[in-house]
Amino acid sequence: IPALAYLCFGMFVYFIQGRQNIGYLTAFTGISFIWFFFSTFYQRWIYKKYYSKFIDTNYKDRIGELSKIGIEEDMLKIENSLNTGNLNLNEVVSIEEISTHAFLNLKSKVSIILPKKMAGAENIAKFIEEIENKRGIKTIKNLEWRWK
């Protein structure tokens, strides 16, 4: 919208001056094109910076913390240094996998993130296969996904 505003302002000034000075139109058209093409890169950079800072600030005590996750009968057992929890396998709605992580999506719209780097890709694959067999859910694989 700012790009369109610059273009409209340039046209407004051009027509107000009786179509004699094309400099304003050219300058504001150039600014609008620059804004249109480079604002997406700038916004992407700001978005990454903001959320990286947000995650570092709010989850600093949990980043790098080791947790154990396993399957016992029809329950998903999750242990970390703070607590232990059991989750019914029926709560798992879908499983998504990218090249670096696997995500167990739950009915409550919460996801359990499993980093492959920390647990080993082969261990994650076995774990996901076990959930697939018990729940009958297919994994959505998007191994080419990357942050843009």
**Contact present, 89 and 136 (Cβ < 8 Å):** no
pTM assigned to the model? 0.60
Which residues, at least 6 apart from 57, have a Cβ–Cβ distance to it below 8 Å? none
What is the tens place of the pLDDT at every residue in 74-98? 888 888 888 888 888 888 899 999 9
What is the tens place of the pLDDT at every residue in 92-137? 899 999 988 889 899 999 888 888 887 666 777 888 888 888 888 8
> Measuring CA to CA, which residue among 103, 89, 91 is closest to residue 139?
103
